Amino acid sequence: MRFDDQVVFITGAAHGIGAATARRLHQEGARVAIADHDRDAAERTAADLAERALAVTCDVHDRDSVDAAIAATLETFGRLDQLVAVAGGSAPMPDFAEQSDELWNDLIDLNLTGVMRCIRAALPALQCSDRPAVVMVSSVNGLAAFGEESYGAAKAGLSNLAKNLAVRYGPRRIRFNVVAPGTIRTRVWDHQPGSLERLKRFYPLGRVGEPEDIAAAVAFLGSADASWITGITLPVEGGAMAGPLHFSGRAFNDPDQ
């Protein structure tokens, strides 16, 4: 029960990695705020947890929405100890030279600025906690070149943000860390039959990741077991980064591999 009596606010918590994280931390004793722009799905996820769970509407693009979601969490639970920023994503993009400012800015806002909004809103409450921590969910796209330049640039920014905030708020005992997943079996792959089977060949451990793999890493970094860890990015990617020739961008994008 590493999160007994802890209140955790989780963005993107209605589906996939966020929902798996909510289940994991709830199982370990946390009271969890299921924050998502999809309110109906957030309520279903909260209902599945039965107790110690609150569904809140949260659009990370919108400062007022983020601030209201944090305020609702504080009103219900009376405190906030940890923030897990999962909300993010990519979208089909034209070639880099043809990308519009609007498309670029939208992905940066979702994956980087949106995380900043959540941290900014949570900071006053986190500074009142006796075990404050922030865990951001990034991607291996932020660690190496796998295409999707705007998405990768935003995710890379999370690692630097974590370092800077770890230094700035270390004296106040707030820890900031990042988890960088590889390919994870989530709903984004539902309309791409056979893709996950193909991609698992590029992972030395022989499979793609499951949302629970990332939830376990988030739980570790948020727990007292990681009390002397801050400012790091933890790749959780089945060994992909260990063999860059095995998992090269050329091979990754070659449908015949």
pLDDT at 256 over 50: no
Residues in the chain: 257
Mean pLDDT throughout 232-236?
98
Determine which one of 151, 163, 169, 203 is catalytic. Answer: 151
Q: pTM surpassing 0.75?
A: yes
Split at pLDDT 50, 70, 90, the class of 140 is: very high
- In a domain, residue 2? The reply is no
Is 203 one of the annotated active-site residues of the chain? no
Mean pLDDT throughout 4-10?
97
Domain count within the chain: 1
Is 163 one of the annotated active-site residues of the chain? no
Residue 255: per-residue pLDDT? 42
- In a domain, residue 236? The reply is yes
List Cβ neighbours of 72 (8 Å cut-off, separation of 6 or more).
33, 54, 56
Closest to 161 in 3D by CA, of 121, 115, 108: 115
Provide the domain limits for residue 22. Answer: 7-252
CB of 253 closer than 8 Å to CB of 147: yes
Q: What is the CATH number of the domain that holds 210?
A: 3.40.50.720
- In a domain, residue 160? The reply is yes
- In a domain, residue 43? The reply is yes
- In a domain, residue 99? The reply is yes
pLDDT at 90 over 60: yes
Determine which one of 155, 169, 200, 203 is catalytic. Answer: 155
Q: How far is CA 81 from CA 37, 99, 170, in A?
A: 22, 39, 15
- In a domain, residue 257? The reply is no
The SS3 call for residue 215 is: helix
Dihedral pair phi/psi, residue 190, rounded to 5°: -60, -30
Mean pLDDT throughout 92-101?
90
The pair of three-digit structure tokens given for residue 249, joined into one six-digit string: 């961008």
Cα dihedral across residues 160, 137, 8, 117: positive or negative: positive
* Chain mean pLDDT for the chain: 93
Distance, CA of 234 to CA of 184 (rounded, Å):
15
Cα dihedral across residues 198, 199, 203, 208: positive or negative: negative
CA 216, 2, 162 angle in degrees (round to 5)?
Answer: 60
